Structure 1
Amino acid sequence: MDDVKIGEILLPGEESEQEAKARKVRRHFWPTLKRAMRQVPFSRDVVAAYYCAMDPATPLRTRGILLGALAYFVMPFDFIPDFLAVVGFSDDIAVLTAAFAAISGQIKEQHYIKADETLRGEIPDKAH
């Protein structure tokens, strides 16, 4: 996966595009996270990113970047199929890492607190 492709995935996009991505992420995030928990070394950050992306107070650009990365994470088909053990989520990790670098510091403590609460309990099957 090259930097150009990651850059394309992380384009914030128009508000209507963000809403479409948000619907997809809300629908598929929790089941995908359940499958990825053992393979994604920073699940807490991913869950905090989800809450940040869904927070209406998050700046539009930050929200767009996170939604792009999270939409890629939940896509059933990507460059490396997620069902392949160990390497399946490596491209997702690359995209998420790039997104975190691009939005440096925009995920707030409140998003991490919500992530910690969620991860201490049972991960839901659907958005909450």
Structure 2
Amino acid sequence: MDDIKIGEILLPGEESDTERRARKVKSGFWPVFRKAFRQLPFARDVAAGYYCAIDPTTPKTVRAILIAALAYFVMPFDMLPDLLAVVGFTDDVAVLAAAIAAVRANIRPDHYARADEALDGADVKR
């Protein structure tokens, strides 16, 4: 991640970029999340961040930051390929942690409630 800084990944970008990323996030988030669940030390926050990102009442800048981080998470090729077991998700974790820290005040209790429901579901084991 020396070449690309986390701040650059989290730049909101153009609205068309955000929309394109949002489509990738919506289609790819849960399959990747299930694979990485045990390696995410703050999985509940990531899931709540997902619900915050897809919530149309969330401010656009906040949505764009979360979508950028979540898109980086779901993309199969990033700075450290996720196929490298534990090490492969370390860059994803850093990007997600930075995004969540930046927008934490916008992740509401209802986002956490939806995350809890998803985490308690059959598809994701705690």
- TM-score w.r.t. the length of structure 2 is 0.92
Structure 1: tracts of 5 or more residues without a match: none
The separation in 1 between residues aligned to 2:86 and 2:22, in whole angstroms, is: 27
Q: Where does residue 122 of structure 1 map in the other structure?
A: 122
Q: Where does residue 82 of structure 1 map in the other structure?
A: 82
The separation in 2 between residues aligned to 1:47 and 1:53, in whole angstroms, is: 10
The separation in 1 between residues aligned to 2:51 and 2:2, in whole angstroms, is: 28
The separation in 1 between residues aligned to 2:104 and 2:19, in whole angstroms, is: 22
Structure 2: tracts of 5 or more residues without a match: none
The separation in 2 between residues aligned to 1:98 and 1:66, in whole angstroms, is: 10
The separation in 2 between residues aligned to 1:3 and 1:58, in whole angstroms, is: 31
Per-residue deviation, residues 8-45 of structure 1 (Å, max 9, x unmatched): 11011222211101000011101100110111111111
Q: Where does residue 58 of structure 2 map in the other structure?
A: 58
Decide which structure has greater helix share. Answer: 2
Q: CA deviation at 1:3?
A: 9.0
Q: CA deviation at 1:123?
A: 3.3
Q: Where does residue 99 of structure 2 map in the other structure?
A: 99
SS in 2 for 1:35: helix
- TM-score w.r.t. the length of structure 1 is 0.91
Identity of aligned residues (%): 63
The separation in 2 between residues aligned to 1:57 and 1:14, in whole angstroms, is: 19
Paired residues in the alignment total 124
Flag the 1:16–1:87 CA change in 2: closer, same or farther, 3 A: same
Q: Where does residue 34 of structure 1 map in the other structure?
A: 34
Structure 1 range deviating more: 87-96 or 12-21? 12-21
